[in-house]
Amino acid sequence: MANASPSQGSTYEKFDIISLDGSKTIALKGGVIEFQYFEDLFSPVMTAKLSIVNTASPTDPKQRGIYNDLPIRGGERVDIHITTPIELSQDIALGEFKMSLYVNNISGYVQEKGMETFTLHLISKEGLLNQNTRIIEKFVGKSIKELIDYMLKAVKCEEIDEVEETKGKINFIGNMRKPFTIAPMLASRAIPTDSKQNTAGFFFWQTRKGMRFKSIEALIKQDVVAEYEYNRAVETGAPIMKNFRKILSMQVINNANILGSARSGEYSTYRIFFNPHTFQFTQYDTSYAKKWSSMGGANLGTESSDPPPVVDPDGENKFTKPYMAHRIISGVNATGCLEPKVDSTVVQPQTEDMSQALWRYESLFSQVMTLQVPVNIKLMAGDKIECLFPQVSKDDDVDPQQSGLYIIKEISHFFSGNRSYTAMKVLRDTSGKKK
C-alpha cells in the first residue's frame, strides 16, 4: 500500500442489513454503488445515504431481491465496515470505518428486468428513538449538564463522548417536547464552569464517537487534529503524507458580510425580557465588538469582529454608535416553572448570557468555506483544523489573512469503489493566522 493515492477507492468489507425481528440478514456489499456519511455541529443525529443496485435471479437463491424479500420497510439495522487505502499517521487516520445505522427512508426504488436499484437513507439509533420520546417532567434548580444527561438517558444513548459541565442552575418544564428539541434550546443558555468571562453558548451534536455537548470556548481552545495545505495538484513522487494533507478544492461561502452580520446581531443586540411572575420588563443593550478583548483569546483568528468604519460626510461613524442596536429581540424569562411562588433565585441570569450566546454563535460564521480533502475518517464535526492557503501573487508564501484555524461545522465522508474523499464546511470567528 505504499503507493496509495489520495483519490483511491475504498473496500466494502461489510454492508449487512438485518430484518426488524432479527431473523434475516442480507449482505449488501456486492451491490453497493456508493456510501456517504454525514455529521453536523448543529445536528443531534448522524445520517448517511447508501445507494444499491441488486441483480436477482429466479433460479439462484443466492441472487434474490432485497427490497421485498427482507422486506425493507424502515427501522432495519445496517452494519457497516469499510477499509480505506492506508493508515498513515496520527492526524491522517485512514484504515477502518465501522458503525451501525438504521433505515429511516427508502427512495428511488426502480425494478426492471431482474434488477432493482434504490437508496437507503440511514440515521442513528438515537435519532429514531427521539421521535417516540417526550419529556413531561418539571425540573427545579438543575444544572443544564444534568438536564442534558437526562435527555440522553431518555433516548437510551449508549455512546457518550463528552458532556461538559455547566455553571449555574435553572428551572425547566419539558412541555411534551422531544429530547433533541430541548437539548439545543438548553445549549444556547449554557455557560462553561471554567469560564471567567461567562462566555455562553454550547453545541449538542453526534459523531461516530458518541454524543457531544461542548461549549464554543472549548471547541476553540481544543487541539488541532489535522493540518491541510491548498494545492489541487497531486505531486508525483512526493511523500505520501504530503499528498494526503492537500486541500483538493475549496470555495468561500461567506466572508465579511456586513449586512448579514448586522442583521444577525453579531455587532450588537438589544434584548427585552418579560417576567411572567412580576410582570416587569428588563432590557440589555450590548455591543460585543467592543468587548472582544474580554474573551481572553478564545477565538480562532487574530483580528476582532469590529463593524466596519462606515463614515458619513460629516465625519461621524454612525454605524458603530452605541445606541445603534443592529438586532432587537424580545422574549419571556424562562423561569421554567408555572408556580408564581417558585424560588427564582436559583435561576441564572439570562439577559447578558443569552445576548452573549447569540453574538457568539453568529460570530462563528464570519468566515465560511467548503473544502474537499483526501478521505480522512479521523475528522469529525466540531474538530479544529489548520488550513494554509497561498498568496495570489506568491505561491510559495502563506496568505496570513485566509490561512489559520477553522472549526468543522459539517463533514461528509464519501466512499466508492473508485474514489473516496472527505468534504467539509468549516467556519471561524475572525480572520488572520495565529502564530
The full set of domains in the chain, from first to last, is 11-124 (2.40.10.10), 258-363 (no CATH)
Angstrom distance (rounded) from CA 394 to CA 160: 46
Does position 235 have pLDDT exceeding 80, yes or no? no
Read off the pTM.
0.85
More confident residue, 309 or 134: 134
| Measured torsion, CA atoms of residues 8, 12, 13, 19, in degrees rounded to the nearest 10 | 160
- Mean pLDDT value across residues 42-48: 96
User: Three-state SS for 167?
Assistant: coil
- Give φ, ψ of 333 to 5 degrees: -55, 120
Angstrom distance (rounded) from CA 430 to CA 299: 7
Angstrom distance (rounded) from CA 167 to CA 146: 11
Angstrom distance (rounded) from CA 83 to CA 11: 5
Does position 242 have pLDDT exceeding 90, yes or no? no
Cβ–Cβ under 8 Å, residues 7 and 419: yes
Does position 3 have pLDDT exceeding 70, yes or no? no
DSSP at 276:
T
Give me the pLDDT at residue 55, please.
Answer: 84
The single-letter code of the amino acid at 115 is M
User: Three-state SS for 29?
Assistant: helix
Question: Rounded to whole angstroms, what are the CA distances from 428 to 90, 301, 432?
Answer: 24, 8, 10
Closest by CA position to 58, among listed 69, 47, 44: 69
- Mean pLDDT value across residues 356-372: 84
Question: What does the block give as the cell for 305?
Answer: 469582529
Does position 1 have pLDDT exceeding 50, yes or no? no
